Structure 1
């Protein structure tokens, strides 16, 4: 039970996490307790732990461990997302290394390969979450492609279709020609690249005039369907309604009036290609062009295809889009239709995984009527039914949901939830949860299933209730997902999907007690969702929409949105910049506790985190400080407390530390309620480091080291109780070190992970004791500060005189003289001070005087302080001048301005401190 001399995080972490997991500590049986529920944002099954995950998971784990300590039935739903396009890419790459292409095999065979890959390699990130200390309910781990969850996905699709909220339509999508699928906006990465602006001349139908347009994609002119001009642009008023004849194709297209055209930009006329540009699509619709009639000039590989009117020359058909661009530009130049070419920096969309340029492409896809579903989600935030933290994100929520577009939910992939829709030979669609139900609708007609799969955000939108057994509400549906409700197209799922017990050698108590629909009824709605703001639209809002629609209740009571983790200079992390941070590397170097505490301490609502490794190192030092304090306490006969209530205390120092502990509990409770992670961390940090380690342990050393001292037993009991409270309060932030010290300090009948969160009992606060010890700390601090600033030799013991001391101060001096002598290096109390220089310190009504004649060179010291203060004032003035210059503040990099402000504040404070020291010398 002896605490080791050296703190070794890796050894502790390797011991305690498997212990917690195998003993079911993450989900203790508490069927009558108040429920508390969080669902983890399911990371991609292909993923590995990055620093953003580490932040997100740490913030969740703090709340879950805190709720568990409060005695709640804390459920942290964990699982992974099947990550359709990412997983398909990984498996295709693996097959490619064996010389096999996906197209060379059947869909069913490919899906078998995916399940095999998942079984062998798909759990890397869950192991990494364990390294971080995530106390998830692993016994009931979910996967968005497990059979139970898949059943919920199919049910939602069918119900939305029956209600008229899901339909098939022809619209523009972000098309990835490499993967040959539609992708979401989140999967599009916009990059700047050097390109050109081609200025083209289009002749009027009668040849009487021409009109000029400009484009960054001249190849799309093969599918132009209109020219737009602003309705108020007098230059073109007479041309509206006339037609122009396109070069190359000869197609006649109208000139239309539309506010999309900017009279101040270029010629003021814009070519409109509604089948290949999102803005042009809207212009085309306003001009009366039906999506079904919009021209499409590219195939799925982004090669030129014949348009419906057959006007593209045969020698262009089959050319790659960029090859076609060069050919078309040459043809336009030959026809005299190319006015000029300008070099421009172009904002270009790329597929974040394929790396190819994305094409807006007109296709038939499945859409959800997001506008209808958005209404209740808007109302829930407006009414306060869903609390958003920080509140500044409400405006973004409103703006997006009020202007929401139809949601494209189909993807042209093989891996994913295959759309539950079947077509007969006439193209009639039958939507049903399985083929038998679809066949019953179709009668004897031969059916073919839709080959598309659903967008992964469609399935993850059901996460808060689909993971709890909905729609069947059965416990076995929620807790044993594998092998149930397989639909056609999920061949291999039963054989390859892991059972819920695969991850544990011992079942969780929650599995054995769960009955009926208790899991769903007890844990929906969830309490809190913690999410990065970057998926506010893609996941958070869609969960709200689906939860309110199908459960008739919000999915969570509070939505907490955290910022991004940036590098130490505030720059966004990216592999290309070489400034990414590997959380596993930081854990190896400093321990999981140090990384977790760093992320919590730096998480300030509404701000991004500038992660500096020095901060992690600093909190590793904090852990070491706690370790050494506990080791010192153990060496002084202090052990774990035997009571939940604070011990009785008579000594002022003990009554003071009990009061400080209670105030810390109160402050921490408020910070947790407000989800102020930085305040949580700072509150416990300062209590441990400053109050307990630096002051309390120093103040009680004489009592502890003298067995006959009055109050020695009381002091050991108080110190042990306070140390226990520290370990419990700190446990959500630093679970490993606290569990280790909890057991090292005493024989326990339970782990700290299921201990009792302290109660803030105000009766333990003794104002007189608090006032006296705070006075003592202030006096010692002021004397130490004066000695340091005036270069008093550390070994010099100085007499201390006091003037104007009241009765209370005189009493305090008498009771605490020995402590002053030990900690402030005071020799004795002097009645008078010899003439000459002396340092004067004012605390409350009294002035304390330290004679310095003969101890330091007073003249030299005055000169040193004056020179140093003048130098600091000069630097502060220079920095103030820079900050007062608008050119610097507006044009300099934000990090440079921030650094200048920090330096100005530091130099100003330094100057004030030096002037105060000079004033003390008189």
Structure 2
């Protein structure tokens, strides 16, 4: 038998590193291909190599770890593939900031030397988040850790790029992109964060050519006026129909602008006339292409005004805005300026306001790839959990735009395209040293691919593709993807498209979507608000298990959750409850033989009840895990462990465990307690791996670790509805007695007579056979059973429970005078408090100045005090009648 001397207090810090090291040393996270076993695989959403653990990571990886640990215990061949993303822009910024401290830029080093510096930085700092994930308890197969720029992933990226190019699905062209003037690169949509901020809406009038009439337009970015090449109206707008085909004169510049009709224009918004700047607005770009309008770039990539801006050339874009507005006002073109709250895009990495710019970039043609991806979800081959995200996914894909995949930075997968002075572009899987057309020298495209391009291949590139490896054959497609709803479009959809295109199969069967972890006020955690909570600080203070359990309980798929320190405390209380119960069990297992299972006749009512409740808990937890209702599974375990196992069964079993004279009774209680506890620990292990391993290792057990022990299977023959019903009546009776004793302040250690009057003969027999539970848990001595014909006891408090009349005779139990004095004193205190609150609420100054929630709180307190006063009056009246 294992040791039974666990410490009196559970200390996570002394346990967690010990067991994590043990699991790694034993190779328990590692999976080899085994065709005899059914695979279950997850690829980790690769955190940025620059990152450190935040609460979103903690939630996301806890969900994955629960899935993996559960399936591992069920006997699946489980692979949780870990890795990190090279995070092109973010990593480059980190290294550039490091160089800037020494007065250097990347250009001072040159491309090759700079890339070497980035690799050095990655080696030094890039593993930080992996270490932090380990502290959380993540049971990834670290022997297989991947990086989006390791050799295998790089080969996959090049194969995909060239294949798509050969199919005409990758092309180069001048199109609208999000551009960061600070990072000097195009950005993907997810790299742009939109923030609501106050601004101005400038109303400017454009004169109709050859007329004194004007058309007024409105813009939040006056500097883009310099790039206007048209004005659009709705073709059915009666105000402007007659003007379509005519020209307006651009203020200050004097350029002729055609008036075009386009159904895109909303006649009800603003003046119904929209200025068109095709080179500086994504919607204008599309509209301009439809009407063959020129694209005039007036803002440079660094945020200054271009030569095409005339006298404003060289100015910063905001400096130009001010100067142009002054000129418009001076020349009489500015009609008015309104305050305007609007969403402004900022670079996710450096917070610079993003500029929509037309530039020459590489794009993926998305529509042909999107159609199979829509069909895969429509057919049910891929299922979103919750299902409501299916519509969001499909809507985006049905309206998808081509994907800009080139970035003007140095860190990343360099685009495998080479240019020759003869005009040829060569795209190749292998490095090109000379032009195959003219033999001339070639130069590789300086741009790199969007980070999301390589992560779109993650489910199969991490397993060795494009080689047809055993891992790809066995573990692909993966079983489930766990991720937040904020990257359905940018990552999930692209993985599905790439998996279908290059593996002719879905990349995963389920997409398990979770929400964000917000602060206690419901706000998104952010550096600017200073409301972020470091998971590592929570782990240092409370342990990883308590953080994990807090994140899971009360959380439903797809919904945001709030972080409350009180809930972490509640998780710690739960862990302590389990620890203390387990410590009690271990102290009372001396002489226990796990191979000796009692005969059914040896089980008491309490034994049969807890075995039935345990069996139902196994079924409920497993069913909820299969439905991805992890929070409900955690809730079921919490209620079973706290309420049923600890508060009821262990207390009921104590007399038999303490009675060393009755060997069979003690052995039966030991067996049931051991059986239920050790299997309940298995159910809890995926949620709280450390404390369950620590306790399980001290219990009698087989196997090296709880994490590779068998997941409990429900023994349906142990479910006993009648036993549960009988035990419920007994427990309700015990609670009724406790409440009656509490009402008259009977000391917990003082035993008291309890009288039960029961009409049903079967119920009479039940209590006659099991009155020891009332003696043990309600301090009842003696327990007197009466038939309906027998007289009720006098001077007794009473309650009714499921056909049982419960009486607590008061004669000799309490000192009536002393209890009356105590109640009168409590009544006096309540009356004073009620008067104080009533005075506050009736004070006009308080009512006028206090916040509504404060007033409501005081009103609720007044009602509570009044209810207590009424209850005391009733109790005093009752005592007076004795």
TM-score by length of 2: 0.90
- Tell me the secondary structure at the aligned position of residue 307 of structure 2: coil
Query: Once the 2 structures are TM-superposed, how far is the Cα of residue 370 of structure 1 from its aligned partner?
Result: 1.6
Aligned 1:75-474 pairs, distance under 5 A: 75-289=79-293, 293-307=294-308, 312-313=309-310, 315-436=311-432, 439=434, 441-473=436-468
User: C-alpha distance in 2, partners of 1:70/1:89?
Assistant: 45
**Equivalent of 2:14, from 11, 16, 40?**
11
1:695 aligned to 2:648? yes
Contact 1:547 1:554 in 2 (8 A): yes
Contact 1:275 1:281 in 2 (8 A): yes
**Which runs of 5 or more residues in structure 1 are unaligned?**
474-516, 873-891
Match of 1:566 in 2: 518
Query: Once the 2 structures are TM-superposed, how far is the Cα of residue 532 of structure 1 from its aligned partner?
Result: 0.4
Aligned 1:795-806 pairs, distance under 5 A: 795-806=749-760
Contact 2:362 2:404 in 1 (8 A): yes
Aligned 1:517-916 pairs, distance under 5 A: 517-637=469-589, 642=594, 649-709=602-662, 710-746=664-700, 748-789=702-743, 791-830=745-784, 831=786, 836-852=794-810, 855=814
User: C-alpha distance in 2, partners of 1:852/1:158?
Assistant: 90
Inter-CA distance 42–919: structure 2 relative to 1 (3 Å threshold) = farther
Range that drifts further, 764-773 or 644-653: 644-653
Contact 2:516 2:560 in 1 (8 A): yes
Inter-CA distance 162–868: structure 2 relative to 1 (3 Å threshold) = farther
Inter-CA distance 864–398: structure 2 relative to 1 (3 Å threshold) = farther
Query: Once the 2 structures are TM-superposed, how far is the Cα of residue 12 of structure 1 from its aligned partner?
Result: 0.4
Query: Once the 2 structures are TM-superposed, how far is the Cα of residue 690 of structure 1 from its aligned partner?
Result: 1.3
- Tell me the secondary structure at the aligned position of residue 758 of structure 1: coil
Contact 2:594 2:700 in 1 (8 A): no
Contact 2:412 2:451 in 1 (8 A): yes
Inter-CA distance 645–756: structure 2 relative to 1 (3 Å threshold) = farther
- Please report the RMSD computed on the Cα atoms of aligned residues, expressed in angstroms: 3.3
Query: Once the 2 structures are TM-superposed, how far is the Cα of residue 866 of structure 1 from its aligned partner?
Result: 12
Match of 1:877 in 2: none
Query: Once the 2 structures are TM-superposed, how far is the Cα of residue 920 of structure 1 from its aligned partner?
Result: 14
Contact 1:188 1:350 in 2 (8 A): yes
Query: Once the 2 structures are TM-superposed, how far is the Cα of residue 772 of structure 1 from its aligned partner?
Result: 3.5
User: C-alpha distance in 2, partners of 1:641/1:157?
Assistant: 64
Contact 1:181 1:411 in 2 (8 A): yes
User: C-alpha distance in 2, partners of 1:644/1:284?
Assistant: 84
Inter-CA distance 658–643: structure 2 relative to 1 (3 Å threshold) = farther
Inter-CA distance 529–747: structure 2 relative to 1 (3 Å threshold) = closer
- Tell me the secondary structure at the aligned position of residue 616 of structure 1: helix
Inter-CA distance 362–856: structure 2 relative to 1 (3 Å threshold) = farther
User: C-alpha distance in 2, partners of 1:647/1:562?
Assistant: 47
Inter-CA distance 383–788: structure 2 relative to 1 (3 Å threshold) = farther
Inter-CA distance 868–461: structure 2 relative to 1 (3 Å threshold) = farther
Query: Once the 2 structures are TM-superposed, how far is the Cα of residue 80 of structure 1 from its aligned partner?
Result: 0.2
Contact 2:793 2:807 in 1 (8 A): no
- Tell me the secondary structure at the aligned position of residue 599 of structure 1: helix
Range that drifts further, 773-782 or 517-526: 773-782
User: C-alpha distance in 2, partners of 1:745/1:639?
Assistant: 13
Contact 2:33 2:470 in 1 (8 A): no
Query: Once the 2 structures are TM-superposed, how far is the Cα of residue 303 of structure 1 from its aligned partner?
Result: 1.5
Contact 1:833 1:849 in 2 (8 A): no
- Tell me the secondary structure at the aligned position of residue 355 of structure 1: coil
Query: Once the 2 structures are TM-superposed, how far is the Cα of residue 837 of structure 1 from its aligned partner?
Result: 4.6
Query: Once the 2 structures are TM-superposed, how far is the Cα of residue 276 of structure 1 from its aligned partner?
Result: 0.5
Range that drifts further, 676-685 or 768-777: 768-777
Contact 2:205 2:217 in 1 (8 A): yes
- Tell me the secondary structure at the aligned position of residue 695 of structure 2: helix
User: C-alpha distance in 2, partners of 1:187/1:115?
Assistant: 23
User: C-alpha distance in 1, partners of 2:598/2:466?
Assistant: 49
Range that drifts further, 776-785 or 452-461: 776-785
Deviations 1:9-63 (A, max 9, x none): 0110111111111221112557221111011100000000000000000000001
User: C-alpha distance in 1, partners of 2:562/2:445?
Assistant: 47
Inter-CA distance 919–805: structure 2 relative to 1 (3 Å threshold) = farther
1:58 aligned to 2:62? yes
Query: Once the 2 structures are TM-superposed, how far is the Cα of residue 348 of structure 1 from its aligned partner?
Result: 1.9
Contact 1:48 1:124 in 2 (8 A): yes
Range that drifts further, 183-192 or 587-596: 183-192
Query: Once the 2 structures are TM-superposed, how far is the Cα of residue 375 of structure 1 from its aligned partner?
Result: 1.2
Range that drifts further, 181-190 or 193-202: 193-202
Deviations 1:801-859 (A, max 9, x none): 22233222222222222321221121213456676553333333332222336637599
Contact 1:416 1:454 in 2 (8 A): yes
Range that drifts further, 324-333 or 108-117: 324-333
Contact 1:49 1:129 in 2 (8 A): yes
Contact 1:647 1:717 in 2 (8 A): no
- Tell me the secondary structure at the aligned position of residue 602 of structure 1: coil
Deviations 1:733-770 (A, max 9, x none): 11111111122223754111111111111122344543
Query: Once the 2 structures are TM-superposed, how far is the Cα of residue 624 of structure 1 from its aligned partner?
Result: 1.4
Contact 1:152 1:466 in 2 (8 A): yes
- Tell me the secondary structure at the aligned position of residue 305 of structure 2: coil
User: C-alpha distance in 2, partners of 1:836/1:653?
Assistant: 33
Contact 1:574 1:580 in 2 (8 A): yes
Contact 1:173 1:360 in 2 (8 A): yes
User: C-alpha distance in 2, partners of 1:611/1:633?
Assistant: 34
Query: Once the 2 structures are TM-superposed, how far is the Cα of residue 703 of structure 1 from its aligned partner?
Result: 0.6
User: C-alpha distance in 1, partners of 2:184/2:264?
Assistant: 30
- Tell me the secondary structure at the aligned position of residue 537 of structure 2: helix
User: C-alpha distance in 2, partners of 1:426/1:268?
Assistant: 49
**Which runs of 5 or more residues in structure 2 are unaligned?**
834-850
Query: Once the 2 structures are TM-superposed, how far is the Cα of residue 598 of structure 1 from its aligned partner?
Result: 0.9
Contact 1:664 1:684 in 2 (8 A): yes
Match of 1:492 in 2: none
Range that drifts further, 358-367 or 52-61: 358-367
Query: Once the 2 structures are TM-superposed, how far is the Cα of residue 661 of structure 1 from its aligned partner?
Result: 1.7
User: C-alpha distance in 1, partners of 2:421/2:267?
Assistant: 50
Match of 1:489 in 2: none
Query: Once the 2 structures are TM-superposed, how far is the Cα of residue 644 of structure 1 from its aligned partner?
Result: 12
User: C-alpha distance in 2, partners of 1:302/1:863?
Assistant: 78
